[in-house]
Amino acid sequence: MALSKVDAIAIGGFDGMHAGHQKLFNELGKNGAIVVIETGYANLTPGREREHYTHYPILYYSLDDIRHLEGEEFVALLKERFPHLRKIVVGYDFHFGKNRRYSHANLGELFSGEVKVIDQVCIENDSVHSHKIRSKIQIGDLSGANRFLGHNYAIKGTVIKGQGIGKTDLVPTINLECPGYLLPYEGVYAAFVRLDSEEHYHPCVVFVGHRVTTDGSYAVECHVLDENIPSCERASISFVKFLRKNQKFESLESLKKAISDDILNARRELIHLSL
């Protein structure tokens, strides 16, 4: 869609593109667009990853470029960028401009069109916010994070070389480097993985953490269940459930036994799901 046609926008940081954010997008209609104010702290859907969770076009503004603006100046900037703008959608706690001085009420006074304010979106009696999703991910509560997101938490990375003992002594794994993403609490997870530009996801088990049993280095590794997979360059992991904490084992044998239990547990979690 040509941006000149845009007549409705939603404004915010939109890291995570969570259930609260989606409620705003539902108000945009067919000529809508999303305005992301980029703080530099987004680590759930960094950069353009947000685009996977909406069909609306996204425009990015850096917070540093607009934080000094007075309310009138901010609205003028929007009207210049979107000449046909008739509706702005924001949440109940939206603030903008110099020292975050302006609220949705001020926006209503400054903008001549409609300002639609979305009430607090709550799940399990708790308001949904990206900082709460980050906290859940940091304690390993991926099921809770996923409920707040409305989709599985996903990270993307490039494949790097591992220690080389997985394939020979344990199970084969894809080792990943995932810059920009918040990595979950150290442990083992049931997940799905998509390789390169494949369309489908494979059930897998993922280890995130310091390999305290072997070389102590930090790793994000994924073992694809029940399949030999070709080598690949990139992968995205979609987390489903925390299975257990990272542990130091006395021998590779006992780590291997734990990994076979992890595989059984992951299979049990994933069998009814498909992506």
Ligand X SMILES: Nc1ncnc2c1ncn2[C@@H]1O[C@H](COP(=O)(O)OP(=O)(O)O)[C@@H](O)[C@H]1O
Ligand Y SMILES: Cc1cc2nc3c(=O)[nH]c(=O)nc-3n(C[C@H](O)[C@H](O)[C@H](O)COP(=O)(O)O)c2cc1C
Q: Which amino acid is at 252?
A: L
Binding residues with ligand Y: total (CB under 6 A): 23
By beta-carbon distance, which residue lies closest to ligand Y? 162
Please state, in angstroms and rounded to a whole number, the distance separating the CA atoms of residues 221 and 159: 9
Decide which of ligand X, ligand Y, none touches 194; Cβ closer than 5 to 8 Å per partner kind. none
Decide which of ligand X, ligand Y, none touches 143; Cβ closer than 5 to 8 Å per partner kind. none
The 212-251 site mask, x for binding ligand Y (CB under 6 A), equals xxx------x-x----------------------xx----
Site for ligand Y in 142-201 (CB under 6 A): 162-166, 170-171, 173, 175, 188
**Can residue 12 be called a binding residue for ligand Y (CB under 6 A)?**
no
Q: Which is nearer to ligand X, 134 or 210 (CB)?
A: 134
Token pair 């990206």 is at which residue? 130
CA 62 to chain centre: 19
Strand, helix or coil for residue 21 = helix
Could you tell me if 221 and 204 are in contact, meaning their C-beta atoms sit under 8 angstroms apart? no
Please state, in angstroms and rounded to a whole number, the distance separating the CA atoms of residues 241 and 235: 18
Among 74, 207, 239, 242, binds ligand Y (CB under 6 A): 207
- Least distance from ligand Y to the Cβ atom of residue 196, Å: 19
**In the chain, how long is the greatest CA-to-CA distance?**
69
Tokens of 81: 């960028």
Strand, helix or coil for residue 213 = coil
Q: Which is nearer to ligand X, 99 or 168 (CB)?
A: 99
Decide which of ligand Y, ligand X, none touches 40; Cβ closer than 5 to 8 Å per partner kind. none
> How many CB atoms lie under 10 A from the CB of residue 72?
12
- Burial degree of 197 (CB within 10 A; 0-12, 13-18, 19+): exposed
**Stretch of 9-17, 40-48, 93-101, 210-218 contacting ligand Y, by CB under 6 A:** 210-218
**Dihedral pair phi/psi, residue 235, rounded to 5°:** -150, 150
Decide which of ligand Y, ligand X, none touches 12; Cβ closer than 5 to 8 Å per partner kind. ligand X
Tokens of 238: 């979609």
- Least distance from ligand X to the Cβ atom of residue 268, Å: 32
- Least distance from ligand Y to the Cβ atom of residue 52, Å: 26
Q: Binding residues for ligand Y, per CB under 6 A?
A: 162-166, 170-171, 173, 175, 188, 205, 207, 211-214, 221, 223, 246-247, 255, 259, 262
